[in-house]
Amino acid sequence: MWNYSDKLKDHFFNPRNVGEIKDPDGIGEVGSIACGDALKLMISVNKEGVITEAKFQTFGCGSAIASASALTEMIKGKTVEEASKITNKDIADFLGGMPEEKMHCSVMGREALSEAIANYKGLETSTAEKDKFEVVCHCFGVTDREIRRVIKENNLKSVKEITHYTKAGGGCGKCVDKIQVLLDEVLQTELNANMEKKKENYKNMTTIQKIKAIEDIINKEIRPLLQQDGGDIELIDLEGNVIKVSPRGVCASCPSIHFTLRELVQKKLHEFLSDDLLVEEVKL
């Protein structure tokens, strides 16, 4: 049995702003009855760009109704630009949290809002653009673009989480392998971006900060590998881009130590800190 917050139950049993707006300024329609969930969001916007009215019609479970109700309350009185920054996590938080298995309802709300704002601005909506993207999950009509977006916005790490947030993979299951490929691609891209950011930060560090950063990489990424075979290294000094280390344990007498320093130690430091770093052996 899922645990629903009192606020979520209140918005389900007493939904706000159900109905239609005559001549709305923006309409967002997402999902489909065939897939089990559908939502139509309508907004009215005044000359100052403030959302003065929001109403919805939905077909779905209690969480879908509560998410749509909460969303309309959240956006009323906000400017279009302010409303555009609302995420599905904001909707879930507004409701006091949601069962993970129902997070796709909050995502549907966020998607409907994006569609309504695009429609208001006279832009091409994501629904209209669907033919430009690959449909990964044919059971629920979920595209690769939607999957990538929900992974990034919610920091998802598994296919199971993606299913909870999009329904993709929750039908016949034939798309699970493709979802995993997309997940791996997004995570690798984010990892690469974080690495580049760390490298950029390294350039602006003081010498003491650089030494600390080098020691952290040695402790976390290098030392455990060396110690598996009884070896180790000690950081002795940093002179410009030259890192001086002293081999310890079996590394101290290993005939391949120069290879180890170049192919393991130096490459790890390049990967995490800077491509300009050189590693030299110091015998003590």
Q: Cα–Cα distance between 55 and 68 in angstroms, integer?
A: 9
Decide if 282 contacts 227 (C-beta within 8 A).
Answer: no
105, 137, 175, 251: which is the annotated catalytic residue? 105
Chain-centre distance of CA 177, in angstroms? 19
Which amino acid is it at 88? Answer: N
* DSSP run (H or E) holding 170: none
Q: Cα–Cα distance between 106 and 104 in angstroms, integer?
A: 5
User: Catalytic: 105?
Assistant: yes
Q: Cα–Cα distance between 274 and 213 in angstroms, integer?
A: 11
Q: Cα–Cα distance between 17 and 72 in angstroms, integer?
A: 7
35, 61, 139, 254: which is the annotated catalytic residue? 35
Which amino acid is it at 60? Answer: G
* DSSP run (H or E) holding 228: none
Angle between helix axes 176-203 and 144-154 (nearest 10 degrees) is: 50
User: Catalytic: 35?
Assistant: yes
Q: Catalytic residue numbers?
A: 35, 105
